[in-house]
Structure 1
């Protein structure tokens, strides 16, 4: 039975991959609606023929990799259960030490290592793709360094999380999911607080903005928005990417206004001020707190659903999974697989909320700067730098886009520009 489940799962993954390939390369229509042709949202207006061709090619392959990677993770966890590796990991851990925490650490290092190896090919293809299309400028050694930092940070955090999770499962078979959720509240807040000052500097160097004149303009904008800020940081990203970005991160006293040096190199001051006004809008409109609250609500529903599904799955396929009960550490791949599936299923909702917030931030920024042309040209340059599709396929938008499409963003700014012009005439 275990072999049959594994074979069916592999066949299902292959068929799913073929469907996604057909959808992205043959079925999906990314052409611009005729009413937008010739507008500032039309990529043919601001991209040359080569850039247009490259953006379509790059986007299709990148989207294919996205849709293949998450279900590959599910398939990996399922096969780990079916072939008995989860059982072997636990046996090796128990033979190595009698202390529960260290048993969990040993079990999870084996699971993490196998997961890293299984997903590495797609990660490397994604890296190579970005290099081929000149999005990434990162050397292989630098990329591997970031991959290993990711590995060890995730491992360190997850060892603690998994240890606490299975301790709760052993203490309360029925309500472990509720107690686990209660602990996610302080954990989430701590991680958001630590991200800009502890984790982010592990990947990149942050330093005060060198252009003091621009810094004063940004701080004046922050003061206008009632954002307490004394410095603007720039981060060295040119050695890793040609993409552009800026953000406001953190909560409370550790919040930071950050600009990538690639953004500074390719955009003028007015364009940068619009982008910074957009990022400040997230702070002003409390989007980070709304995001945390939404995440906690989804976590509650997700953990409850995971508990119910795990009980059902083990009662039905426990023999095939080599797992007797939920509280057995061998069930961890099942827990991770179900949680990942639920997160993927919830992504259309979370992306919808995120796109709404981003639209709010665009509106706030344009009302603050009153410079539609700077806003429009900044989005055009972002499209060029990232080789983004202006009008992506529907499934891509639903499952991938936490921002409105460039078609939606630029056309909204054009409408605002027309509105401003009419008001000035009146």
Structure 2
């Protein structure tokens, strides 16, 4: 059984590396073509950034594979031998906490390089060492407190119920829903500075837009995202009474009112089309399948890893091997997501205007230096949003003819 999982993991790694190499070659060839969507300078920068990201992804994937071999070869059994606790709950908490901390520490060089070298080089990251340490400590505290409680909860379920995977699914799925509800509040209290919009004219326009589609929110906020990153974004955070509209300060600064309303109109399209509930449903189905698989693993798998099939081991095996199943499910999930994005574009363009939405997307692509072309295989595996070229075609706009005029038009 262990051999099957190892082979599946090797295939997963091989596809990851192959698609990255294909993407690098494709972008290098596309870089020499006439720029589309982006202006000439940012077209070259975006291509270079895309290539460098994929090179780092290849190195990271090789590194992850080495760690995978070390963990299943002796790491899990060695860590198990170091921890002798009478309580299965204490052992599960300490074992999984250490497992996660060790993996985070070993992956830290890639995070530091991405944040302080690569993203600094291309003008994205504003992160300082002080802020990075503060964020890391806050995240660590949240993980040690609430993460340990979740580990204890799922360990209790595993140890107490014959068909634990059913109740484990219900427990974890409920936790995820709770996290989605509390996410904006946690960000507000611990990480970001949320403020009411200072532009009252824009706030009135947004509120009118929300009322038009029946979206109830607890407020419209601007967040100081630029202290960490210069990229543009916006999101609807929370569920139920915690729902709020969150605009990155960079987005408010760079987009006109009409363009910003078009972006929000797109997001409201997801709300109106029920995509949020659909995504929760899809996530629930995927999680249920995962729990069904990992809740019925044969004893020989754990014997092959030289560990007992106790709660700590089941959770660790889940964390090591679940990326395989996630990866091979992603093309189907991404296909559904891309379909939803087209529908949201249509809704947003009808709510505001196609020209405003296209102009907004063009500015987002230029500011975020998102290279507009990708290898079809890369799109198949990784794109949850359609390529911009395809989105513009659906909106009746040919980027090869007049993208510059729309970029410059106010």
What pairs up with 1:304-319 in 2 under 5 angstroms? 304-308=292-296, 310-311=297-298, 314-315=299-300, 318-319=302-303
| 2-structure distance, mates of 1:199, 1:238 | 15
Which of 379, 398, 405 is the aligned partner of 2:361?
379
What pairs up with 1:130-209 in 2 under 5 angstroms? 130-173=119-162, 175-199=163-187, 201-209=189-197
The equivalent of 1:62 in structure 2 is 53
| 2-structure distance, mates of 1:13, 1:230 | 42
Instruction: Give 1:365 shift.
Output: 0.6
**What is the CA deviation profile of residues 91-115 of structure 1, one whole-angstrom value per residue up to 9, with x for unaligned ones?**
4432xx5444333232223212210
SS at match of 1:389: coil
Structure 1 residues not aligned, in runs of 5+? 38-42, 418-426
The equivalent of 1:388 in structure 2 is 370
TM-score calculated relative to the size of structure 2? 0.85
Tell me if structure 2 keeps the 8 A contact 1:135–1:385.
no
Instruction: Give 1:191 shift.
Output: 1.6
**What is the CA deviation profile of residues 64-96 of structure 1, one whole-angstrom value per residue up to 9, with x for unaligned ones?**
44466467546524422322x3234334432xx
Q: Which moved more, 1:152-161 or 1:9-18?
A: 9-18
Cα distance, 1:68–1:166 mapped onto 2, change above 3 Å: farther
Instruction: Give 1:301 shift.
Output: 0.8
Q: Which moved more, 1:20-29 or 1:192-201?
A: 20-29
What pairs up with 1:117-132 in 2 under 5 angstroms? 117-127=105-115, 128-132=117-121
Which of 254, 261, 277 is the aligned partner of 2:249?
261
Instruction: Give 1:393 shift.
Output: 1.7
Instruction: Give 1:170 shift.
Output: 2.6
| 1-structure distance, mates of 2:36, 2:8 | 46
Cα distance, 1:265–1:198 mapped onto 2, change above 3 Å: same
SS at match of 2:127: coil
The equivalent of 2:222 in structure 1 is 234
| 1-structure distance, mates of 2:305, 2:331 | 30
TM-score calculated relative to the size of structure 1? 0.82
Q: Which moved more, 1:137-146 or 1:55-64?
A: 137-146
* CA RMSD, Structure 1 to Structure 2 (Å): 3.2
| 2-structure distance, mates of 1:347, 1:13 | 12
Which of 335, 340, 350 is the aligned partner of 2:318?
335
Tell me if structure 1 keeps the 8 A contact 2:125–2:230.
yes
The equivalent of 1:323 in structure 2 is 307
Structure 2 residues not aligned, in runs of 5+? 400-410
